[in-house]
Structures are given as C-alpha cells and as structure tokens.
Amino acid sequence: MQRILIDTDPGVDDAFAIFLALRSPELHVEAITTVCGNVSVTQATQNLLTILGVLDLDEFPLIAQGEAEPLVKPLVMATHVHGDDGLGNVSQLRNTDGSPLYPQANTTVSSAAGVDLMLEMAARYPDELTIIALGPLTNIAKAIRKDAEKMQRLQKIVLMGGAFEAYGNVTTTAEFNIFVDPQAAHEVFEFDVPIHIVPLDATHQVILTGERLHAEIDKREGTISHFLKDATHACMEFYREHVGFWGFHIHDALPIGMLTRPDYFESVPAHVQVETEGTLTSGMTVADLRPERQHRDPNANVCIKVAVEAFLDYFFERLQ
C-alpha cells in the first residue's frame, strides 16, 4: 500500500482522479490539500467536499486549504472549461425539496494551512509519502521554501503537467497547471526529489468520448454515475465547440493510474526546465526527450505513452 497526499484544484478531471484514488486499494490517501488553479482555492475546497460527499466513505482523509495565489503572477482560472463552480455547475442542482443534489461530505477542513499539512504528512511518513499534484505546484514550492529538509524525505512527486512534443492547452507552448504558476514549477523541478511527470503528450492520448462515458454510466447505478454525467456536461460541450469532439481528456486520472498500474505507462528520463519569463513561452516545459540527446542529468521521468483502452477499462472497473 502506498501512502499518498493529493494536491488538487478541483476541476472535473480532478474529480475523476479523486474517485479513482479513493477506489484503489493499493493507495491510502492520507490527506488532500487544495490549491488555486481551475477555480479559486476557496471554491476548490468546496468542490473537494462535494466530491467526497459523493463517495460513501467510512473515514475521510485529512483536508486543508492551500495557497490562494501563485508565487508571482496573477491567478488565471479555467471556469470557462469546467463551469462557473469548476464542477460543471453541479452546485446549482437541487432536489425537489430545495436541498443540494450533491451535498458536501460531513467532514471538517483543518485549521492548518495546506502547506503546513503537507509538511506534517512528510514528517509523519518519511520516505513513504508520495504527493500526487493535480494542479499548479504552488503549495509544493511553498512547502519546499518553508522546510526543504522535510520535503526531501518524500518518496516521490507524481504530477500532471507540462507539454513537450505536444501543443499547450493555454498557449501554444504551455499546459495549464504549469502556466498558472511557472515559478513554482521551476522550483519544484530544481528540487532534489524523484519526480514523475504525466504531460499533455500522454493525457491527450486518452480521449474519453461522451458516447463511451454515457455507455459506461448507463451500466451502473448510484451517486457516482449520476455525478459524473452531470459534472461532465459543460466540459464536454466546451470540447465539442473548441476541440472538435464530444468528450474530454481525463488528464488528472492518469497520475493515479501510473501509481496503481505502471505497466500501462511508458516514460523516459529527461532534464526538465520551465520558462518563467518568456512573453510568448511563459510556462513552457523544456526537455529533449530523445535518449541519444541527454547531455544533462535527468531530474524527472516524463510519460510519453499510455495503453489507452486498457487504462479506460481499468478506470471504469474501479468505479463499479
């Protein structure tokens, strides 16, 4: 069993990842911290409680709210993709009696800051804890700044972010999580801890069509299935209009899959750097992924290939 801390900015695809992590017996989710990104950090925390409320859990992970602003630049959010509330506007859905269709989990948010909870978990489980980063890396960079010694004892960081041989999804060169806080990404990649990156190069291989999603949902009953159908509607319509297919990429579920089914993923070592200042390239992740061109010591493993159908089958099996 692997001890993990999820750092997240929920986000529709974050919801998929959280469901998968909490339905994976190989993982023990010790804590979840929220961070600004897809939505404000306050909304991210509310969304996390909604996601956890969908699950029938006997025990909840520790929860703490993290950083509200990137290290340097103003916050850029993605509500135009994920809906005004970040979860396809499910917060607006009501039962006939006016109560929320998806009530929040009956659990509390720690009074500790997200960075402090992260450091507490790193100290409690030295050399055991993996951080799964599903949003901008602001919390992790702040934790490194505050106590590098504790963070040095992480087992590894697995993150969704970056684009190398693929186009970005915010600008031509930058993926959203890195674009939101490139300075934080730079500091994390410069830190001496094992890092595994699942970039757009990999996540764009996994297209979950609306037809496949609805077919899988129709096979199942229960709150999770109804939630996924409601939460993904706005996102899939955005993809239909702007990307060209009805469906979406479940980006953030892939780092969870990498931990639980590593045989579905192929990675290469690389020296990854982040452009923090470029007018046209801010947030660009730069690395030469060609094995014969590795002239600097690698600081990360970059996922380049996913067994797509096997991963999607596995994902829906776990949600039963």
Cα(215)–Cα(229) distance, rounded to whole angstroms? 11
Q: Which two tokens stand for residue 76?
A: 């850029």
Q: Are 37 and 9 in contact (CB under 8 A)?
A: yes
Sign of CA dihedral 49, 7, 147, 70: negative
Instruction: Find the Cα–Cα–Cα–Cα dihedral 216, 217, 220, 222, rounded to 10°.
Output: 150
Amino acid at 21: A
Q: What tokens appear for 203 in the block?
A: 């996540």
> What's 105's DSSP letter?
P
Evaluate whether 172 touches 179 at the Cβ level (below 8 Å).
no
Catalytic residue, from 82, 196, 249, 251: name it.
Answer: 251
Q: What is the dihedral of CA 165, 264, 169, 174, to 10 degrees?
A: -50
Is 28 annotated as catalytic?
A: no
The token pair that represents 95 in the structure block = 């039962």
User: What positions carry a catalytic annotation?
Assistant: 251
